[in-house]
Amino acid sequence: MAKPLNVIVAGGGIGGLAAAHVLARAGHRVTVLEQSAAFGEIGAGIQLGPNIFKMFEYLGLTEAVNQVAFFPTGLGMNDVRTGEKVVRVPLGDVARAAYGYPYGVIYRADLHQVFLDACKALPGVVLRTSSKVESFAQDGEGITVRLAGGEQLRGDALIGADGLWSRIREAVVGDGKPRVSGHIAYRAVLKREDVPAHLWSDDVQLWGGEKTHLVHYPLRRGELFNLVAVFHSNKYDEGWNTFGDTAELNERFAQAVPQVRELLGKIETWKMWVLCDRDPVKNWSDGRVTLLGDAAHPMLQYLAQGAGQAIEDAVVLGEALRFTDGNVQEAFQKYQQARYLRTGRVQLTARFYGDIYHAAGVQRELRNQMFQSGKESAGFAGLKWMYDGISPANLFDT
């Protein structure tokens, strides 16, 4: 390997820690700057497709993830008003047979902890809290990052993994605020003992309806039950930790089937976030600076790929640096060239799947008819390109 680099990562979420883990394993020195007072992850459950488990294997994290993940029996979708089954895709052995890897779900905080522990185990990683990046400047020799409070750090490269409202993206891409989808998501978690037996399911179950849907599935080896309710709203709050309005939620789901209303009634306090994304871009690098995860390609949650694509980013970025012998500018160009079409396709397909989940009128009837017939692609069949994942080994050698 060429001379080890000194890399600064802005953002201590899943994507930032994944990047730090990948680069430190390769012998680079990495400083992770987290603006909050502690490393942690806000949110409830996330789904992990086979493409993400492929990355866990590459990173040597499969066992750690398996200890805290849950492996659902299927992916199902029902009509939220009639209760009729729209489609169900079996998982388990079916997913493994199709892709060689499972389909799982995990508490976001648990996945974050896996990467945090992995970074702490590597001597080349420095983890800093209360370190907000204010600005940066680069020259022919490196990059200088200025923190709130005036402290300056010097490094060879800067990775902006600072999320949807990325300050690094403002400087590199400059495309303004994120695109507001018009939908908001409410999230909550129940203990298993608080979920009546007739409402429990080992599936990832989605109830789709006009401008609304509810998805639920077990978490943490089946100890918890994750609920995310999505509906149309004009509200807009930046961030991920705002309290939701239970009255508005109940109004939006007033026409839902009884089991959905019963589940929603089990939650007293909801946290909400506004669903936003951005149009895909081809360039998210500038010299010694590049973006990763939501900072580079934020996407709606309808394909459950946000965290997974950030982890793929980290792996590809590491391979690009290896291939270029640590030439930062060249590596960052190769990295984004290898990623922008795949991540752009996920961004746009996620928007399309939102339309499928929230279909009304003739669209709803067509959706149900096509999926129920079994003749149209649904679930794995239509997303093979995504779940096949990437092959890190020799990624740039051909």
The CA-based angle 32-396-319, given to 5 degrees, is 20
Instruction: Please state, in angstroms and as integers, the Cα–Cα distance from residue 260 to each residue in 88, 187, 190, 207, 254, following that order.
Output: 18, 14, 14, 8, 10
> Tokens 């508005």, residue?
248
Asked if 108 and 226 touch (Cβ cutoff 8 Å), the reply is no
The CA-based angle 228-346-181, given to 5 degrees, is 50
Q: Which two tokens stand for residue 340?
A: 């922008």
Q: Which residue in the list 217, 335, 357, 387 is annotated as catalytic?
A: 217
3-state DSSP assignment of residue 272:
strand
Amino acid identity for residue 2 in this structure? A
List, in sequence order, every residue forming a beta bridge with 171; answer none if it has no partner: none
Backbone angles phi, psi at 385, to 5 degrees: -60, -35
d(CA 90, CA 381): 12
Q: Which two tokens stand for residue 25?
A: 């394993």
Helices (H), the chain: 14-25, 50-59, 62-66, 93-99, 108-120, 167-172, 246-252, 258-265, 306-323, 328-357, 361-373, 384-387
d(CA 45, CA 121): 25
Q: Which two tokens stand for residue 28?
A: 């680079």
d(CA 134, CA 149): 9
Instruction: Please state, in angstroms and as integers, the Cα–Cα distance from residue 289 to each residue in 259, 335, 354, following that order.
Output: 49, 12, 32
Asked if 243 and 270 touch (Cβ cutoff 8 Å), the reply is yes
Is 302 marked active-site? Answer: no
Q: Which two tokens stand for residue 341?
A: 């079409």
List, in sequence order, every residue forming a beta bridge with 7; answer none if it has no partner: 30, 157
Residues near 58 by beta carbon (within 8 Å), at least 6 away in sequence: 315, 392
d(CA 160, CA 145): 11
Amino acid identity for residue 129 in this structure? T
Residues identified as active-site: 217
